[in-house]
Amino acid sequence: MPGLEDLYREIILDHYRNPRNRGELTAPPATIVEGHNPLCGDEITLHLLVKDGVVADVKTAGQGCSISQSSASMMTQAVIGRTVAEARAVIHRFKHMMSIEDHHHDEPVEAPALGDLEALQGVVKFPVRIKCAVLAWNTLSQALDEAGA
């Protein structure tokens, strides 16, 4: 049986206590998208700035549990400075790790390594928490769509 140490890894707690890239961006030019989990009440407001096909900046606001907040924090670090295609590939790779998307072999670009995000792997053992980890990613996906990127 998976234990709490599988879920609450130190790096996750670090991002929870000290979330990176919190805040807002001016819209326009930024795109603002709100995401929420109706089951648990977690909310995220994602601010995305895409410039010349690159994710120039991402800021997040909102509230939620340690898993949703740390996932959002690590996500911003994983995608800022990446091309939009790379960002989408990271989203896919992350959701594959969360076992909610199959692996595509025809990915247009190689997904960058997940790095710190690997720490969230343990979440898969706690199925009710997967939605917490994925909230920010779904919201980013929607923001990329709305930004026309």
Q: Site for another protein (CB under 8 A): which residue of 132, 134, 136, 149?
A: 132
Candidates 41, 53, 115, 127; binder of another protein (CB under 8 A) is: 41
Q: Compute the chain's Rg from CA coordinates.
A: 14
Work out the number of other CB atoms within 10 angstroms of the CB of residue 118. Answer: 14
Site for another protein contains 43 (CB under 8 A): yes
d(CA 42, CA 75): 16
Tell whether residue 136 is a contact of another protein (CB under 8 A). no
Give the residue from 144, 138, 111 showing the smallest Cα distance to 43: 138
89, exposed or middle or buried, with CB in 10 Å at 0-12, 13-18, 19+?
A: buried
Selected range binding another protein among 62-70, 90-98, 99-107, 134-142, rule: CB under 8 A? 62-70
Residue 11 interacting with another protein (CB under 8 A): no
- Does 127 help bind another protein (rule: CB under 8 A)? no
Residue 124 contacts another protein per CB under 8 A: no
Pick the closer one to another protein by CB: 35 or 64: 64
- Hey, how many other C-beta atoms are within 10 angstroms of the C-beta on 131? 19
Give contact residues for another protein (rule: CB under 8 A).
Answer: 3-4, 7-8, 13, 16-17, 39-43, 63-67, 126, 129, 132
